[in-house]
Homo-oligomer: A and B are copies of this chain.
């Protein structure tokens, strides 16, 4: 009952898609890394991937969705390590800080987030396909309610992206440590739970 291929029919007819998604993701990150988000046009990404622009638009309906899928592929699920809530939070913060520091990822992250601000459909996609899975995973692992986890994400990701956006560089380890320390104290200390 594996269903790796389909539910009803074995495979759809016609020429199958070539397996270039990974190549496109790699081309996306390296182009964003070298040229920045705005200058990483779909034309350039396609050229670097050795693929036609129309092929990209056949698979992803917009640049924003391409970036979202690329980030999901690059990040994967949170590697939950550690026993207690404090250790889980701390490792999560260090994990996402390291990921945002990897070439291309931070820029793509900030870029698609920026686009979403004035693009409500993209914002819904970003919220549903990107934030929600991590939120649910963290709600389970941390045993915290939705509003507290959303607050956690806002603080951690918001801070890291703001630093990246203002300086062009990822946050240094010492500041990441301070961020983790601040957040852990907040969630450990019982006062003012954060959210209605």
Contact = CB atoms under 8 A, between A and B. Distances in A.
Contact of A38 (B36, B119, B161, B172): B119
For this chain, the copies found in one complex come to 2
Interface residues of A, number: 56
Contacts of A168: 120, 123
Given A166-B126, A182-B155, A195-B174, A117 B114 contact: yes
Interface of A: 36-40, 107, 110-111, 113-120, 123, 126-127, 131, 147, 151, 153-155, 157-168, 171-172, 174-175, 177-179, 181-183, 185-186, 189, 191-196
18 contacts: A36-B119, A36-B120, A37-B118, A38-B118, A40-B118, A107-B118, A111-B118, A114-B115, A114-B165, A153-B162, A154-B163, A175-B194, A177-B192, A181-B192, A182-B183, A182-B185, A182-B186, A185-B186
